[in-house]
Chain A
Amino acid sequence: MIEIGAMTKSELIARLAERHPHLVAADAELAVKTIIDAMVNSLVEGERIEIRGFGSFSLNFRPPRLGRNPKTGDKVQVAGKYVPHFKAGKELRDRVDFKE
């Protein structure tokens, strides 16, 4: 894992405000919140997200399994569940990979 730096939501908002100087800063903030809310809602409703050039988000099913309580060692049935999954699109994949 590389941890040279990280961009947070507030930094993303600041960069978008800079790139859209004709808008008031509050619009960039509301836009980021609206985009993230819409993505959360899609996944919560079991719907896919497909962003061309970036990637797609979907849900993967984890089947029920027999787990163990790490403290007591007792077997416990763990229910199946859905977990969010991201697959990077071609442009993103190519841009983050090492350059030739």
Chain B
Amino acid sequence: MTLTKAELANLLFEKVGLNKREAKEMVETFFEEVRTALEKGDSVKLSGFGNFQLREKPQRPGRNPKTGEEMPITARRVVTFHASQKLKAMVEEAAAHVGTPAQL
């Protein structure tokens, strides 16, 4: 099953004891604070999970895949995620025990 905001809100209701409305708002504001930090140009470091960082990519030549027309891909700023050593190790170890993870 896929983890979604609804599942996370349900966990905050069950494990933290927030009411349903508070739980939903907390999940929303969690991701909104991360977006706001990244939008400002700050990286976000969540120990035990990973880091979100920004990369500036220069303009490069590209093509319209439909028409084949040459068209520059403009300079842009993008988010990259680097999983923590701990998360990488846990994922590798779990996959080694159970074999191929489901539905990937």
Q: A residues engaging B (CB < 8 A)?
A: 1-9, 12, 15-16, 19-20, 22-23, 27-28, 30-32, 34-36, 38-40, 42-55, 57-59, 61, 81-86, 88, 91-93, 95-98
Contacts and interface: CB of A to CB of B under 8 A. Distances in A.
Contact of A44 (B53, B77, B91): B91
Given A84-B50, A96-B78, A48 B31 contact: no
Contacts, number: 188
B53 to A, nearest CB: 6
8 contacts: A5-B40, A7-B34, A8-B46, A12-B30, A22-B22, A36-B48, A42-B2, A83-B91
A42 B5 CA distance: 13
A30 B22 CA distance: 14
Contact of A47 (B88, B95, B103): B103
B88 A84 contact: yes
- Using C-beta atoms within 8 Å of the partner chain, give the interface range for chain B: 35 or more
A40 to B, nearest CB: 6
B26 A31 contact: yes
